[in-house]
A and B are shown apart, each in its own frame.
Chain A
Amino acid sequence: MRQFAALYDEIDSTTSTNAKVAAMVRYFGSAPRADAAWAVYFLTGRRLKRLLQYSLIHEWTMAATGIEGWLIEECYSVVGDGAETAALVLDQVLTVAENPLSLAEWVEGRVLTLRGMDPATQQARVTAWWRSLERLERFILLKLLTGEFRVGVSQTLVVRALAQSASLEPPIVAARLMGEWTPSADWFERVLSPEHTDDDRSRPYPFCLAAPFEGDVVELGDPRDWQIEWKWDGIRAQLIRRGDAIHLWSRGEELITHRFPEISAAATHLPEGTVLDGEVLAFKDGRPLPFSALQQRIGRQKQVAQMSRAVPVVFMTYDLLESGGVDIRPRPLAKRRTALESLLGAVGGGVLRPSALLHDADWGALADQRSRSRSLGVEGLMIKRRDSPYGVGRKRGDWWKWKIDPYSVDAVLIYAQPGSGKRASLLTDYTFGVWHEGALVPFAKAYSGLSNEEIAEMDKWIRRHTRERFGPVRHVEPVQVFELGFEGIAESARHKSGIAVRFPRMLRWRKDKKPEEADTLENVRRLIAPRPSGAAAQA
């Protein structure tokens, strides 16, 4: 554990990616294999299922330190992180004994054994463990227990470090980290193995990601060099048919095969050794349903059959990655597309369908098409270079997403509270309201979009213009107007305003506007209804 904590500290103490990679390479070279396996598990953002609620940690911290609950909450509002708060507050009373256990022993022999134990035994164990760990190790333990442990390093860097350790090409390592695996010494050996022992048939390929396009499309040259498609608002996924097995993987590397039985049923018609890249999309009467409809399917483990009648889905396919058991990702997109079309022409039906191509000859006509996006229920256009291979990760230049401008609304800041993590000392999490019957109704929360200078200025302003405090939340004078942008809007019974918005963020601080000039709830509601085409153009 000490060695892993030191690695965490090294990664945490530098912004240099080279230094992070070097620290990981040193760790992988010296740590026990089983520890290294768990380290990869955590470094790549995988998490243990939450074992304990933060409220229990809070209670046990009170019991261990004798410090009042409200005072620990005050600390939390400064620290912005439950596990770190507890680790720091416990420092008031604990002296540390030696702890010889390795990371794997901690995880397998201790942390995971807590599951299903009665709370009193859990408390006795955990509070005894606290006494054997230094502050940083205690912080890591608490993060593991609450299922929130995260390290500030990207998957790409972990892959680079492993590839360096094993003298392998990064894409090989990247593929070996995909899909489901259980950390163990053997597993780690296989990841670093020089031979291609790739026998895991469920494994997806690393997803190729598009970069947002913000310039002038004309600069992309002849549109005929590009494959243009709609940008669908669903769940990016790979559909794998190898042998008899069918797997549907989300981009978050979650296995979602059983959530969408109609897709796996359709996939049985695919030839063996086929991998498709596409989008799971709620789709009815020839057009996509909003993402919120799809969310009902994601959240539902039971009554799948019933839900699939109410919210039918399709697999909108846009690429063929493996054909006849051969990895064809290096072939040009145009060739893969031809193969995809003939494959789906033969076996595709209602559920597996190719994503339509737009064939306009000039960018002006394509821009007109893009302006219809909202009325068609899509997010804009995808622009992919026809001669490009299927890359790993976000490689700029080959794949672009050209999204439509977001919806926007002018709203008034009504509540503010501290951010979390590195913004814990600043009031950066805002709640905005719009007018309804003479009062401001909360309608969206937003955290991003302001510059550091604006954040500092707002922080100062909020502290001086707080009307009331409810714990960490400050009710502020309704003065500041912000233009909020968001990607989607839908009815919601769970929100006070009756509406829910997707990906809200601040587009601009409207210092020029008075609060009474902000939008009304009625204005905002008008955005919900499926609007006649043409209206999208002005949004």
Chain B
Amino acid sequence: MLKETAQGLYCPAGDFHIDPWEPVERALITHAHGDHARPGSAAYLCTPHTAGLLRRRLGADITLQTIDYGVPLAVGGVNVSFHPAGHVLGSAQIRIDASEGVWVVGGDYKRAPDPTCVPFEPVRCDTFITESTFGLPLYRWDDTALVLRDITSWWDANREAGRASVIFCYTLGKAQRLLAELSSVTDRPVYAHGMMLGMMDAYREAGVSLPPVKPVIEAGGRSNRATFAGELVLAPLSARGTPWMRRLGTISDAFASGLMRVRGVRRQRAYDRGFVISDHADWPALLATIAETGASRVLATHGYAEPLARHLRAQGLDSGVIRTAWEGEPGSE
């Protein structure tokens, strides 16, 4: 029912693409990250929250139709519906119901709780297309509470030493999740790089409750470097090593990502700390989710697709791999 084309996944029966990486006539979008929502398509279909993010990223003038979670819609000759994926605000799995059976494209998803988006809902299907960004048994996430404890004790130690604590993280999703989680354990204000403010606003417009962030740009300035000593700053990865960092004074830096599970990866990128918190499913969550869908056929995509598919075949499932144009690092946007 779905086939791989040069533009990405295509459904001939409904004449639409899902998360195409090239411009197409009709694009169904699982979520607003850059490797799933590309510019240039003639028409987009996504959830209302994704729509808000998409307009900010791709332009206010794109042709876009929204669809609520769980509401069926006929597209071409098939029925589609969108279901919560728990990845970031507005993220969805896309269910396609046709005569050959039910397919679900999971997009990116996670099972860990996240105060900034609707939790994942398992959807029964015959064929499940799962992400496999962290599809190896070395990946397992600790409870968020433990990670928060590590973050706050690192922050405390830095405060004592008069350093700023800088956490690098993705602008869409991780930054908001961290901010919301931190507000549950501390009343201290959190600073953010200017590039993050737009997405913070977008989340607030969507009704997500986020504490206020202080923009670094207003607080800083060459004259009062001490401003950031002891403070926590969220920054996008692209800000690392730029002159912007200078205004923060002495810092300790960290990267918040599932990639930080591997010591060598953290060391290779020379972060002081790595906080293992991910918006993707870890190995146990991938296996549990696949089982919950009841799918007899599972196709894996992104990251460690080959090993996951091979493991599933050994478990008696029909399983294969879907290529992606995004052979960058696992876990990037």
Contacts and interface: CB of A to CB of B under 8 A. Distances in A.
Interface of A: 12-15, 65, 67-68, 70-72, 74-75, 78-81, 84-85, 88-89, 91-92, 420-426, 463-464
Contacts of B137: 65, 67, 71-72, 75, 89, 92
A80 B273 contact: no
Interface of B: 136-140, 252, 261-268, 270, 272-273, 283-284, 304, 307, 310-311, 314, 327, 329
Contacts of B138: 75, 78-79, 85, 88-89
Contact of B140 (A12, A68, A72, A92): A92
A422 B307 contact: no
B265 A75 contact: no
**Helix, strand, loop or mixed for chain A's interface?**
helix
A81 B262 CA distance: 10
A91 B142 CA distance: 10
B272 A92 contact: no
Given A13-B273, A71-B311, A74-B307, A422 B136 contact: no
Contacts of A81: 263-264
Nearest to A464: B327
A15 B272 contact: yes
A425 B272 contact: no
Contact of B263 (A12, A14, A70, A89): A12
Given A88-B138, A92-B137, A79 B264 contact: yes
Contacts of B136: 71, 74-75, 78
A475 B134 CA distance: 25
Nearest to A12: B263
Q: Which of B252, B264, B273 has the most CB of A within 10 A?
A: B264
Contacts of A74: 136, 304, 307
Contacts of A79: 138, 262-264
27 contacts: A12-B263, A15-B272, A65-B137, A68-B314, A71-B307, A72-B137, A74-B136, A75-B136, A78-B136, A78-B262, A78-B304, A79-B262, A79-B263, A80-B264, A81-B264, A84-B264, A88-B138, A88-B139, A88-B140, A88-B262, A92-B137, A92-B283, A422-B263, A422-B268, A423-B268, A425-B262, A425-B264
Q: Which of A75, A78, A420, A426 has the most CB of B within 10 A?
A: A78
Contacts of A422: 263-268
Contacts of B310: 70-71
Contact of B262 (A12, A14, A72, A424): A424
Nearest to A135: B142
B140 to A, nearest CB: 5
A425 B304 contact: no
Contacts of A91: 140
Nearest to B263: A84
Question: Which 8 A/B pairs are nearest by Cβ-Cβ distance?
Answer: A422-B267, A422-B268, A424-B264, A75-B138, A88-B138, A422-B264, A74-B307, A75-B136
Contacts of B314: 68
A467 to B, nearest CB: 16
A425 B327 contact: no
Given A92-B137, A463-B327, 16 more contacts: A12-B267, A14-B272, A65-B137, A68-B311, A74-B136, A75-B137, A79-B264, A80-B264, A91-B140, A92-B284, A421-B264, A421-B267, A422-B267, A424-B264, A425-B264, A426-B268
A24 B284 CA distance: 38
A54 to B, nearest CB: 16
Contacts of B268: 422-426
B156 to A, nearest CB: 14
A321 to B, nearest CB: 38
A425 B311 contact: no
Contacts of A424: 262, 264-265, 268
B311 to A, nearest CB: 6
Given A68-B314, A92-B284, A425 B140 contact: no
Given A68-B314, A78-B138, A85-B138, A425 B265 contact: yes
B105 to A, nearest CB: 25
Nearest to A152: B267
Nearest to B140: A91
A425 B262 CA distance: 9
Contacts of B307: 71, 74
Q: Which of A71, A72, A89, A420 has the most CB of B within 10 A?
A: A71
Contacts of B265: 422, 424-425
A71 B329 CA distance: 20
Nearest to B135: A74
B248 to A, nearest CB: 16
Q: Which of B137, B268, B307 has the most CB of A within 10 A?
A: B137
B324 to A, nearest CB: 13
A81 B307 CA distance: 19
Nearest to B265: A425
Nearest to B267: A422
A78 B329 CA distance: 12
A295 B112 CA distance: 56
B302 to A, nearest CB: 14
B54 to A, nearest CB: 29
B315 to A, nearest CB: 10
A425 B284 CA distance: 22
Contacts of A67: 137
